[in-house]
Chain A
Amino acid sequence: MDYGRSIHSIRNIIGRITYGLIGLDKLLQDDVNESDDYLHSFFSLFESHDLSSRGVHKLLPEVEGTIVTYNPQLREELVRVAERVREIRDETNASKTEIGSVYDQLETLLNKVYETTSSRSNPSSFD
């Protein structure tokens, strides 16, 4: 793991989670087409980011490596929330309240990522 430069990777992860929020925001606005583009970016954190696929999502190895560097607990939480986002996306009749609830979960997770990465301690090797 390239610890020193992982700051760029973590910003990218933050970006993709933020894009997930935009996707849910667009769902709340009933703009499914635009929502798809943004959610696609969010799901690209995972190995299988086909929005229609069911089953457990597995983070890309490089994403997992970066997250684990900062806080291993976030990995499980991200997988869990992503699964909820996928369910909402696949559910044609999801209510605004349900979408809003998943939105809140994802936003809470995003806040944790910000919090963890700003208090990160330093690295262990050289490249």
Chain B
Amino acid sequence: MIYKKTLPWKNLLDIPQGLIDSDKDGVFENLKLPWEGVQNKPSAYRPYDAIYIPKNPIAYFKDSLVDVLRGIKPEGYDESTKTDYGLRTATDADGNLLLVVTERMDDTPFPGVKSFAVEEGTENLQASEYTLNHTSEVTIEQIDDGKLGHYKVSVPAGTYDYNPKVWFTPNASLTAGKTYTSSLYVRWIKGYTSSAYVWLNSATGGGNGADSTTKKKPRDGRAYTVFSGLAVDGEFGVSLIFPKTLTEDLIVEIWEPQLEQKPFATSFVDGSRTTGRFYIPLENLGFDPANDDWVIAYWKKPTGTNSGWSGFNIFAIGKYSSDYSEGYIWVGKDANYDRLALHVVHDDELTHVTNDADYPADYLTAWHFEVLRKTDGVVDYFLDCKKVLSVAYTTMPAFKDGIWVGRWAGGISNMLVANLLMSKATDENGNLIWTDDYIRQVYELQRPFII
């Protein structure tokens, strides 16, 4: 077991939680902490919360994903503001990308891990231009802290109306029949009430809410709302409405209004980002996809497909070529068969395997741990530590494209991703680290990776 080399416990599950109770290095003699030599270790990652990847002890954290990708714009990257929305990466000593994490506030899919949204095909309409409107009983105060559209909003007791009291209006014209997603961060300062809604609706008149689905997730005194709906012609807004009379004064802070043309509600970034994609080039991977044994592991929650919920939602490496001369592997939901599928080009042919059973009913709505593993002779796909699909091969053509997160041959498949790891599957001696049992342990532990 590879962990014997690094830690005194026989397997991952034996490591007592909280045994290392501080982030002070060297608590235990003879225990080489995995981040010795690591620069800028992220504060969110404590030893007892992490799964150690022992084969790359010299990894270090770059400032941002953008630095690593050397000019390739990832999803969410904004050229003008140079922001990367909390995406952080770890690389090995040669600068190869190994791990993508983020520093969002959502703590999903489990504590210590924070997801990032892969929103292919998104067209942002909010940009940095908007108009904030409010009715006479509402007072607003701008908070100048760099957050887009950050305001403190005060609403007096007694307010009651289905019509919007505060609303952002984007400087964009919308088209009926297209689908839009809108969101707004809200922090309740005083007078929290579950009867106050943040609503996507017509900014000029109430009652035109396309979708009143409202989610509030209080965490550390914070709440935020994400929702979506179908557009109508005309102005559109992100509004606060009060369908029940307020019994006390209410104060909220609101920021980062977002309006995007896209089929799914996945707005976890502020309104200023440009249209994006998430592509990791070959030269940033620490392995040769055609000839090395490698693993791509991640937690994923699909948020939609290229066609409602009936299309594709996949994770791809390489690209399709009609003569099967280029490396190409994809895995995920196959639209044509409504099944999980593994699609591999090898030996001058194409093999496409779909599962006959074990298709989880919640695949499209819940978080799942997926592992794509290539070893000598077989490409395996694990879902929640169960091996569900395999393709045998003898040789694999060279890859000319890298990893497409949330993309297939020309289409989009939006998703939330957390703890994305791309690495060789073996240690420096060629021994397989990512065995079936190791994958099971990683799944059961539900901890972030640290390198």
- A-B interaction: no
Chain A residues in the interface with B (C-beta under 8 A): none
Chain B residues in the interface with A (C-beta under 8 A): none
